[in-house]
Amino acid sequence: MAILMDGKALAAETRKDISRRVAELDYQPSLAVIIVGNNPASRFYVNNKKKDCAECGIKSIEYALSEDTKESELLELIARLNADDELDGILVQLPLPKGIDEKAVIAAISPQKDVDAFHAENVGHIMLGDAALLPCTPAGVMRLLERYGIDPAGKECVVIGRSNIVGKPQAMLLLHRNATVTICHSRTRDLPEVTRRADIIVCAVGKVDFLRADMVRRGAVVIDVGMNTRADGSLTGDVDFAAVEPIASYITPAPGGVGPMTRVMLLENTLTAAKMRRKS
């Protein structure tokens, strides 16, 4: 039976540590959260982020814009927030409504306030291995590995998924920890053959029960980044948990594994951005 990697417990512990560090400052870090439209999932995530900020003593300021907001109006708001010297972080909740170019919006955010670490400048630092701000989900995965004493150095790591938000940066963070990394995707030939070589598998494809038992070698570490909804409305990840858990050595539950770590790493980034800007 695998050891469950409890992201919920680690996130709670990390929030307490962030709260302690924030209390030691002579200023209050601040985060602007922009939500455009009425996407229920986006509203759920934004509400949770505001709750997390309040728990840790970080000031959160919400900008809720209507569905028919023009791209130019959103870019004007970001420009004002970039120029606000009292503001440390800017987060634009994705996805955005049709008609708004996400790439243009991400590019408009000051790299120093880009707490999602999506800006091209921050992506470049991730590639170089000297980034101060890291994308929240990959950073959360790395924190989980550290907590459970799993060193990627010298190990075969397979990342399933090549998104700019998770797959690509996850591969880079593992590479910087001296792992041998393979990125798999929809064009990968004989995916099970590749995944069965892995010591560590990170699955981030957004498909229910995508990673099956026959794709995992006994003793592998399995990280489930996915969050999907079954027909009955229950939440689940990308991994067939019931089948894979008896085979793996460590495994993240979904929900309760990577998700809470993603949220808490946003707080880490906000605190880091504040300290860098204010040189404290």
Count CA atoms closer than 13 A to 141's CA, side-chain side.
Answer: 29
How remote is the C-alpha of 109 from its chain's centroid?
Answer: 18
Residues with catalytic function? 49, 93, 116
Nearest-angstrom CA–CA distance, 102 and 49: 20
**Chain position carrying tokens 């459970």:** 148
Distance of CA 1 to the CA centre of its chain: 27
- Helices 167-176 and 136-147, interaxial angle, to 10°? 40
Strand order in the sheet with 221-224: 3-4, 250-251, 221-224, 200-203, 156-160, 180-184
Angle between helices 167-176 and 120-128 (to 10 degrees): 30
DSSP-derived 3-state class of residue 261: helix
Structure token pair of residue 82? 């970039």
Q: Which among 12, 18, 249 is positioned nearest to 148, based on CA atoms?
A: 249
**Do 235 and 227 meet the contact criterion of CB atoms below 8 Å apart?**
yes
